[in-house]
Amino acid sequence: MPDLSKITCIEDLRAMARRRVPRMFYDYADSGSYTEGTYRANAADFQRIGLRQRVAVNLENRSTRTTMVGQDVAMPVAIAPTGLTGMQHADGEILGARAARDFGIPFTLSTMSICSLEDIAEHTGRHPFWFQLYVMRDRDFIERLIDRARAANCSALQLTLDLQILGQRHKDVKNGLSAPPRPTLRNLINLATKPRWCLGMLGTQRRSFGNIIGHAKGVGDLSALSAWTAEQFDPRLNWGDVEWIRKRWGGKLILKGIMDAEDARLAANTGADALIVSNHGGRQLDGAPSSIAALPEIAAAVGKDIEVWMDGGIRSGQDVLKARALGARGTLIGRSFLYGLGAFGEAGVTRALQIIHKELDITMAFCGQTDIERVDASILLPGSHPGAPRNAFVDSFRA
């Protein structure tokens, strides 16, 4: 295992991943739609939130442990579902799941993963993981996918609600990214500059979409995948489908992609166990608010009826603490995990989790807190955060 002690922040991992991962796949992970305004706001809005430093408090016996949908977690963080993870690093989903298992946090596998549900189950043993579901027009495929998730020992299902249609991501268009990726001359030249990545991919047979190829009707290989993908994301998805999926699944259900208090109330009414305040990492509706800006209103509206989590823009343990203070029982990390994976594989994911945990623990202590369960908005600097008096919050953006 490489010595990563000099890797001190998520930004260090991002810079290394940018050097090691082919451009089309790095850009896929580290970009947003259209102007990327919402993508940038996700991280920037966290930085505008101030913290109150407290002193002369007994800081022994600190704990970041909590639960997410009843599952014990080492900190209020789970790894978010991210498509094409196995293209950031060979066997990427397996490596991420193992790192999460060993650290004591949940891992979520995407429908659009490279490694399959069965791959993850084989490498994580009896340790449960979560599965994220996209709703396709082929409902028979969806039923079988849900059944496969249950057989693979998934303990919760994340249903993504904000990808009925695909947002336009300009970098993906310019890079020619598709499913499967197109081997253009520009991309092949770039691949030649990433020998470490190429050797890793040559050493694995997992280079396709393991949850789809061989399982969806008429999709026996990569050549058939592109047309199937273009046709299958279902724009008709509605709350009735959520109820159907909840009954078919029968276990813990998490609804991902909520950005409005009215939708949050509808989500709570479905009987789901948690919702995730998420704008899909700024990859769908450019111009939507950041996730952290949307969080307080949603938490206030439904926080007593359903667990409220959030993702988008989390690059540090301080961000996790701020989200917790503003009403998120849990958080999810996508890019922060992918940077570590692309940079150093499983060791990089572990290092990302170590960094976030240490920052969370130390910042909590500086704020005079020893138990994550007792953290609330009182740790935040008045007027610096969403949910503060509106004029003060607007003024903080103008400053």
Segment 214-252, tens digit of pLDDT: 999 889 877 777 778 778 889 999 999 999 999 999 999
**Cis previous bond, 180, omega within 30:** yes
CA distance 330 to 332: 7
Question: Quick check: 182 pLDDT over 50?
Answer: yes
| Residue entry with tokens 């092949």 | 188
Considering the candidates 89, 280, 357, 385, report the single residue annotated as catalytic. 280
Question: Quick check: 386 pLDDT over 90?
Answer: no
Q: Give the mean pLDDT of 94-116.
A: 97
More confident residue, 187 or 59: 59
Instruction: Label residue 370 exposed, middle or buried (CB < 10 Å: 0-12, 13-18, 19+).
Output: middle
Q: Give the mean pLDDT of 148-166.
A: 96
Segment 242-273, tens digit of pLDDT: 999 999 999 999 999 999 999 999 999 999 99
More confident residue, 51 or 124: 51
pLDDT tier at 109 (50, 70, 90 boundaries)? very high
User: Can you give the pLDDT at residue 279?
Assistant: 98
Q: Is the pTM of this model over 0.85?
A: yes
CATH architecture assigned to 10-398: Alpha-Beta Barrel (3.20)
Amino acid at 262: E
Q: Mean pLDDT, the chain, as a whole number?
A: 93
Query: Is 280 one of the annotated active-site residues of the chain?
Result: yes
User: Can you give the pLDDT at residue 392?
Assistant: 45
User: Can you give the pLDDT at residue 388?
Assistant: 55
Instruction: Label residue 285 exposed, middle or buried (CB < 10 Å: 0-12, 13-18, 19+).
Output: middle
DSSP structural state of residue 107: B
Query: Which of 338, 346, 349 is closest to 87 using CA atoms?
Result: 338
Q: What is the sign of the dihedral through the CA atoms of 391, 397, 398 and 399?
A: positive
Percent with pLDDT over 70 in the chain: 96
- Using DSSP bridges, classify how beta strands 71-73 and 66-68 pair: parallel, antiparallel or unpaired: antiparallel
